[in-house]
Amino acid sequence: MSDDLKGAVPKLAIRDLHVTYRSQHGEDVEAVRGIDFSIADKPGTGEVVVFLGPSGCGKSTVLKAVAGLLPPSKGEVLVDGVKVSGVGRDRGMVFQAYTSFGWLNVRENIEYGLRLRGVPRAEREPLSQRYLEAVGLSDSAKKYPKELSGGMKQRVAIARTLINKPKLLLMDEPFGALDPQTRWDMQGLLIDISKSEDNTILFVTHDVSEAVYLADTVFVLSKRPAQILERVDVPVFNERDLSLKSKPEFRDVEKHLLDLLYKKQ
């Protein structure tokens, strides 16, 4: 499959991206070297793009460059053909660490960005209700973060990001701290969201099984400084349920990714 659809402006284009930053110890760290790819804009089709690589390889740095949190040392990032020059509402980010505001309840957390923009309460409430239902938190709207499990806190973070209608949803190992059952539930939620919200989701993980289960496309990254080893288009599975992970077609993709990770490093 071609990166671009017949010359259309890509949803995301990264051109010769290099990122070097200063560490806490005052040393220059080359985190990303010469990454170049594009993701086509496919209206009406949700898409999950996964960055897979070993811990510390620079996956999160790529995501932060797209978010506008880390400026490129060289190269550029473009969203719908517009160069990224800082953070913006067109890109929403969900981190591994839970980021809810402790003094706000679930609904207030989800509405936080709308309130900052001056959206009236009468408009905020039906929107927040929609996303409360989308992430399965309708019965928890009045609870505070201290009353929530880890998975529920991540659902709040996802809803708070989605309500602002970002063009790109950026997720930095958001399920890494969850127990296996909750992680499985959240993976299913993410697949549902990618279809219902027509989102392009960029997802960082070092878990090969998670990458195959979630992704439409996987970019396999090298050890730091991150470079693209290969782009892998994941087959369209008819059903995505727990049994899929034991099927030959799933295992074949998993093996291919593992071979790339361990044979090309």
Does residue 218 surpass a pLDDT of 80? Answer: yes
Number of domains in the chain: 1
Inside any domain, residue 121? no
Inside any domain, residue 115? no
Inside any domain, residue 84? yes
pLDDT at 11: 92
Q: Could you tell me if 217 and 39 are in contact, meaning their C-beta atoms sit under 8 angstroms apart?
A: yes
pLDDT at 7: 67
Spatial CB neighbours of 262, under 8 Å, sequence gap ≥ 6: none
Does residue 162 surpass a pLDDT of 80? Answer: yes
pLDDT at 202: 96
| Tokens, residue 192 | 């549902």
Beta pairing, strands 168-172 & 91-94: parallel
Closest CA to 52 of 184, 230, 180, 178: 230
| Tokens, residue 162 | 């989605």
Inside any domain, residue 211? yes
The single-letter code of the amino acid at 77 is: V
Distance CA 30, CA 33 (A): 7
The single-letter code of the amino acid at 226 is: A
pLDDT at 3: 46
Largest CA distance in the chain: 56
Element containing residue 152 per DSSP (H, E): helix 150-162
What is the per-residue DSSP string for 170-197?
EEESTTTTS-HHHHHHHHHHHHHHHHHT
pLDDT at 228: 96
What b/e readout covers 21-46, taking b as 16+ CB neighbours within 10 angstroms? eeeeeeeeeebbbebebbbbbeeeeb
Percent of the chain with pLDDT over 90: 68
What b/e readout covers 235-253, taking b as 16+ CB neighbours within 10 angstroms? eeeeeeeeeeeeeeebeeb
Mean predicted confidence (pLDDT) in 119-147: 94
Average pLDDT, the chain: 90
Structural domain for 64, as ranges: 12-99+166-263
Does residue 142 surpass a pLDDT of 50? Answer: yes
Does residue 265 surpass a pLDDT of 60? Answer: no
Q: What is the CATH number of the domain that holds 32?
A: 3.40.50.300
Inside any domain, residue 253? yes
Does residue 4 surpass a pLDDT of 90? Answer: no
Inside any domain, residue 210? yes
Query: Does residue 225 have a cis bond before it (omega within 30 degrees)?
Result: yes
pLDDT at 2: 44
Q: Using N-to-C axis directions, what is the helix angle for 106-116 and 121-134, rounded to 10°?
A: 130
Inside any domain, residue 248? yes
Question: How are strands ordered across the β-sheet holding 28-39?
Answer: 28-39, 12-22, 74-79, 82-83
Closest CA to 218 of 177, 228, 76: 228
**Residue 245 gets which letter from DSSP?**
G
Q: If pLDDT is split at 50, 70 and 90, which confidence band does 36 have? A: very high
pLDDT at 170: 96
Inside any domain, residue 226? yes
